[in-house]
Amino acid sequence: MSLASTTTVGFDTAASAPPDPSAPTPPPHLFRLIKRLSPTTYLCLPRAINLSQAAPPIASALTAFTTLPNDNVRMQQQAWNVEHPWNDVLVWMMQHNGASLLSARVLDLLPQVVVVSMGDAVRQVCEALEEVNRHEASSLYVSMMVKSQLTKARQSRWVVMAPVFGLTLEAYGKEEMEVGGIANWMVAHIFLALLDSVAHVHASGVAHGALTSAGVVLDVYPRVVWHRFRGYPDVVLSSFAAAVPIDAAGEEKDAFAVLRVMEEVIANWSDATPFVRHAEGDADMVTDDPILLVLRDIRLLHATPSPSLVDIRAQFEVRLIDIRASGPAQLPRPTCQRLHSDLATQAEFERALREPAVIRFEDRYEDFIKIMADEPVEMGAGGHAGMKTKQIMVMRFAAKKSEFLGVIGVVEEAREGTDEDGDFKWDDGHEMVVDVAEPVLPGQHQSIFGGDLEWK
């Protein structure tokens, strides 16, 4: 696997799920679409990008960490938060960790990247995040909400969240199995941080409702420096679409979910996994491996009628603290690199950074508006007035097709010539089909950004 993963963070359902053709997309006049993370969640840049933004050079000596040992790189990275804005610190840490495959130009823009969630559950997500995002330390535990817009119309209802440039617990577990599995000390740290995150959500009056390993994200780029252990990653909860006000049933559901995640990690992705699988049918197995003893007690507690988060902490917290303490004094560089995710490829970022090509309609503009509104249009003598559907329109060019293809990146160099019969086709005979977001209002003109229509 490549050094920098582009595995999707768990802000919503699995990215492998098929896209919903009727699902709304982020408004193109506000956001540049980088990639789809899930059926209703998108990785975006703001439409107005500060292209001149660049991280200033790292100060050679900062009061916050001059007394730290020179070899304690992770603690120095965290201490930068004390004296510098997080946007700058994020870029510095990525450069020092050497895990990103993105160019320096794109790396400088990562602090501007956002996650935009659309769909029917937006209001529920907003209400949950507003409760758990009430103070700065929330970034240690949950996805950070940046802004939102709640309207009656489904297409204009969205919430913007700060991304986490890290792997989900599920993706990290699979990644670590390629090198022998997650070490016991890291398993213990993840469990302790997970318990802290769920406790924070519950203390805010919210039950998560759908906690899974795919919705737990490991973050090695903290927004605050305190409340850290040896530079080990934060455990951030995402996917709040099923969140509800806390009650006894919700608390119990989350407690069972925590036990399932803990069992899944040890049984499937830890360095003790081979021994777990070997002993599946041997109830009398004797072991002194502390993490296997934790697994045994997880299964016993899971079998009880109604375990609570308090019960889980009372049963495991002291033991997990001891196991974690056996780990290294700072997060090893290879582990830090495997925890990193660029979220998108260089090509996907470059596509989002392209400037739009503007198309002005000088003839039959009123017909164009009708087509966009899915209203009947009288066909011309040649039989070409556009494809009349809700979301797709076929654009046909009589001139400058090649220049247009070059601008939107379909071809690297503009080709000369015009289309026969006025149809817009590529050289291999495929029609250019453009997705349409919403009708154009009178007085506006149509523009193309990377092949997607937007409104100027």
Task: Say if residue 34's pLDDT is above 80.
Answer: yes
Assigned superfamily of 31-347: Transferase(Phosphotransferase) domain 1 (1.10.510.10)
- What percentage of the chain has pLDDT greater than the value 90? 40
Listed in sequence order, the DSSP H helices in 108-167 are 122-132
Q: Between the ranges 150-159, 275-284, 311-320, 369-378, where is the mean pLDDT highest?
A: 311-320
- Taking the alpha carbons at both ends of the chain, their separation in whole angstroms is 41
pLDDT per residue as tens digits for the range 408-434: 665 544 444 434 443 333 333 333 434
Asked if residues 271 and 182 have their Cβ atoms less than 8 Å apart, the reply is yes
Alpha-carbon gap, residue 263 to 429, rounded angstroms: 54
Task: Say if residue 212's pLDDT is above 90.
Answer: yes
149 — phi, psi (to 5°)?
-140, 115
Alpha-carbon gap, residue 173 to 267, rounded angstroms: 11
How high is the mean pLDDT of the chain? 77
Residue 380's pLDDT band (boundaries 50, 70, 90)? low
Q: Is 197 helix (H, G, I), strand (E, B) or coil?
A: helix
Q: Between the ranges 20-29, 63-72, 191-200, 364-373, where is the mean pLDDT highest?
A: 191-200
CATH 1.10.510.10 residue ranges of the chain are: 31-347
Asked if residues 138 and 219 have their Cβ atoms less than 8 Å apart, the reply is no
Task: Say if residue 404's pLDDT is above 50.
Answer: yes
Asked if residues 217 and 9 have their Cβ atoms less than 8 Å apart, the reply is yes
Average pLDDT, integer, range 375-379: 67
| Long-range CB pairs of 12-15, under 8 A, 24+ apart, other chains included | 12/37, 12/38, 12/39, 12/40, 12/41, 12/117, 12/238, 12/239, 12/241, 13/38, 13/39, 13/40, 13/239, 14/38, 14/214
